[in-house]
Amino acid sequence: MIGDLDAKVPAGPLADKWDNHRFHEKLVAPANRRRFDVIVVGTGLAGAAAAATLGELGYRVKVFTFHDSPRRAHSIAAQGGINAAKNYKNDGDSIERLFYDTIKGGDYRSREANVYRLAQISVEIIDQCVAQGVPFAREYGGLLDTRSFGGAQVSRTFYARGQTGQQLLLGAYQALERQAHLGTVELHPRVELLDVVLKDGRAAGIVTRDLVTGEMRSHSAHAVVLATGGYGNAFYLSTNAKNSNVTAIWRAHRRGALMANPCFTQIHPTCIPASDDFQSKLTLMSESLRNDGRIWVPQQMDDRRSPDQIPESERDYFLERRYPAFGNLVPRDVASRAAKREVDAGRGVGPLKNGVYLDFSDAMRRLGHDAVEERYSNLFQMYDRITGEDPYVVPMRIYPAVHYTMGGLWVDYNLMSNVPGLYVLGEANFSDHGANRLGASALMQGLADGYFVLPNTITDYLADLLGDPPVPTSDPAFAAVEDEVEERVRGLLAVNGTRSVDWFHRELGKVLWDNCGMERSADSLKKALGEIPPLRDEFHADVRVLGENETFNQSLEKAGRVADFLEFSELMCLDALHREESCGGHFRVEHQTEEGEALRDDDNFSYVAAWEFTGVDEKPVLHKEELGFEAVELSQRSYK
| 307 touches 349 (CB < 8 A) | yes
Q: What is the DSSP letter of 468?
A: P
Report d(CA 329, CA 342) in Å as an integer.
17
Smallest gap from Cβ 292 to ligand FAD, in A, equals 16
Handedness of CA 484, 489, 494, 496 (dihedral sign): positive
Smallest gap from Cβ 25 to ligand FAD, in A, equals 24
Helices (H) and strands (E) in the chain, counts: 18, 20
The nearer residue to ligand FAD, 442 or 458, going by C-beta atoms, is 442
The nearer residue to ligand FAD, 229 or 348, going by C-beta atoms, is 229
Q: From 215, 199, 222, select the one nearest 61 (Cα to Cα).
A: 222
Smallest gap from Cβ 420 to ligand FAD, in A, equals 21
Report d(CA 624, CA 312) in Å as an integer.
51
The nearer residue to ligand FAD, 42 or 298, going by C-beta atoms, is 42
The nearer residue to ligand FAD, 227 or 330, going by C-beta atoms, is 227
The nearer residue to ligand FAD, 342 or 482, going by C-beta atoms, is 482
Transcribe 531-578 into DSSP letters. HHHHHHHHHHHHB---S-TTS--HHHHHHHHHHHHHHHHHHHHHHHHH
Smallest gap from Cβ 75 to ligand FAD, in A, equals 3
Report d(CA 48, CA 42) in Å as an integer.
7
Smallest gap from Cβ 352 to ligand FAD, in A, equals 22
Smallest gap from Cβ 12 to ligand FAD, in A, equals 29
Find the Cα–Cα–Cα–Cα dihedral 234, 509, 582, 80, rounded to 10°.
60
Smallest gap from Cβ 264 to ligand FAD, in A, equals 13
Which uninterrupted H or E stretch holds 286?
none
Smallest gap from Cβ 65 to ligand FAD, in A, equals 4
Note the helical H segments in 45-201.
Answer: 45-57, 95-105, 112-132, 164-182
The nearer residue to ligand FAD, 73 or 516, going by C-beta atoms, is 73
The nearer residue to ligand FAD, 558 or 588, going by C-beta atoms, is 558
| SS3 call for 635 | coil
| SS3 call for 431 | coil
| 363 touches 405 (CB < 8 A) | no
| 43 touches 176 (CB < 8 A) | yes
Report d(CA 521, CA 588) in Å as an integer.
5
Report d(CA 321, CA 318) in Å as an integer.
5
User: Residue 297: beta bridge partners?
Assistant: 316
Q: In what order do the strands lie in the sheet with 315-316?
A: 265-271, 396-405, 356-359, 294-298, 315-316
Report d(CA 482, CA 496) in Å as an integer.
23
Identified catalytic residue from 33, 97, 109, 332: 332
The nearer residue to ligand FAD, 360 or 451, going by C-beta atoms, is 451
Tell how strand 356-359 and strand 294-298 pair up.
antiparallel
Smallest gap from Cβ 36 to ligand FAD, in A, equals 21
The nearer residue to ligand FAD, 262 or 446, going by C-beta atoms, is 446
Residues near ligand FAD (CB under 6 A): 41-47, 64-67, 73-75, 77-82, 164-165, 192-193, 227-230, 239-240, 244, 247-248, 284, 286, 403-404, 426-428, 440-443, 446
Question: Exposed, middle or buried: residue 494 (CB in 10 Å: 0-12, 13-18, 19+)?
Answer: exposed
Q: Tell me, what amino acid is at 57?
A: L
Distances, alpha carbon 457 to alpha carbons 19, 39, 345, 439, in Å: 12, 15, 51, 27
| 511 touches 532 (CB < 8 A) | yes
Report d(CA 72, CA 133) in Å as an integer.
19
Smallest gap from Cβ 273 to ligand FAD, in A, equals 15
Q: Tell me, what amino acid is at 83?
A: N
Catalytic residue status for 209: no
Report d(CA 149, CA 153) in Å as an integer.
8
Distances, alpha carbon 95 to alpha carbons 88, 122, 330, in Å: 13, 8, 20
The nearer residue to ligand FAD, 57 or 207, going by C-beta atoms, is 207
Longest CA pairwise span in the chain (Å): 76
Smallest gap from Cβ 432 to ligand FAD, in A, equals 11
Report d(CA 502, CA 488) in Å as an integer.
19
The nearer residue to ligand FAD, 67 or 111, going by C-beta atoms, is 67
The nearer residue to ligand FAD, 75 or 120, going by C-beta atoms, is 75
Smallest gap from Cβ 240 to ligand FAD, in A, equals 5
User: Residue 637: beta bridge partners?
Assistant: none
| 179 touches 185 (CB < 8 A) | yes
Catalytic residues: 332
